[in-house]
Chain A
Amino acid sequence: MAKTEQADTHPSTGRGLLAALCAWIVPGLGHAMLGRWAKAVAYFVAVSVLAISALAMRGEVLPAASTDAFDRLGFVADLGTGAYYFFSGTLERQGADVSKAPGDYGTRIFAAAGVLNFLIIMEAYEIGRRPPRREAAETQTKAA
């Protein structure tokens, strides 16, 4: 009994990390795993629309082997989109074209989607590691 109570009032780093990992792979999945459905849908829509629009505009998705410092920074930002980064080759069949303005906008928008998802990942981690008792109390307060 005492052990269960202790587990209910202590932060769970493992649960937080799992939520963060899910949120990174598919935007919104971490919040869905934690039962935050409204947030999950909003985050999935926001990041997906940004990433898919960017790829439709033929924006450049920066590779890990970038040599320039700004490109490396761009790679880190792009990586934040999770599945969209790894499937960008499939989604953007014609390849990137930054010789035209829309391609350039697409490159920036894809990086913005990644950075936005990093914020979402951090929130998923923070909610996930909350002790279940505190989480339940907050949900009740929110519902009231």
Chain B
Amino acid sequence: MLNHFQAMLVFAFCVSLAFAFLTKRRLGERIRYAVWAFLAFMLVAVGIGWLMFPFSH
């Protein structure tokens, strides 16, 4: 059973991979785009998590 963070990692990896192949044609472009999208997913998710932190108490 995956926890929240692991589920987020799996989601970000799979969606970044599919988007890279959907939008880019060359291998180098695909790798750069997949890495960029993956990091953006993680950064935004962790950022939103911290923004919501004050409301959890």
* Contacts across chains A and B counted by CB atoms under 8 Å: 57
Q: Answer whether A46 and B1 are a contact pair too, CB < 8 Å, given A119-B22, A120-B22.
A: no
Contact between chains at B14 and A50 (CB < 8 Å): yes
- Indicate if A45 sits at the interface (CB-CB under 8 A): yes
Identify A50's interface contact among B4, B10, B21, CB under 8 A. Answer: B10
Interface size on A, residues (CB 8 A): 25
Which segment, of A61-69, A70-78, A101-109, faces chain B? A101-109
Q: Which of A90-144 contact B (CB under 8 A)?
A: 101-102, 105-106, 109, 112-113, 116, 119-120, 123, 142
B-side interface mostly: helix
Closest to A51 in B: B14
Residues of A within 8 A of B22 (CB): 119-120, 123
Contact between chains at B4 and A101 (CB < 8 Å): yes
Of the listed residues A43, A46, A102, A120, the one surrounded by the most CB atoms of chain B closer than 10 A to its CB is A46
- Indicate if A23 sits at the interface (CB-CB under 8 A): no
Identify B18's interface contact among A56, A102, A120, A142, CB under 8 A. Answer: A120
Residues of A within 8 A of B11 (CB): 50, 109, 112
Residues of B within 8 A of A106 (CB): 7
Could you write out 6 A-B pairs with CB less than 8 Å apart? A43-B18, A49-B13, A49-B14, A105-B2, A109-B7, A119-B22
Q: A58-B1, A109-B7, A119-B18 are in contact. List 19 more A-B contacts (CB 8 A).
A: A42-B20, A42-B21, A43-B18, A43-B21, A45-B17, A46-B14, A46-B17, A49-B13, A50-B14, A53-B2, A57-B2, A57-B7, A102-B4, A112-B11, A116-B18, A120-B18, A120-B22, A123-B22, A142-B25
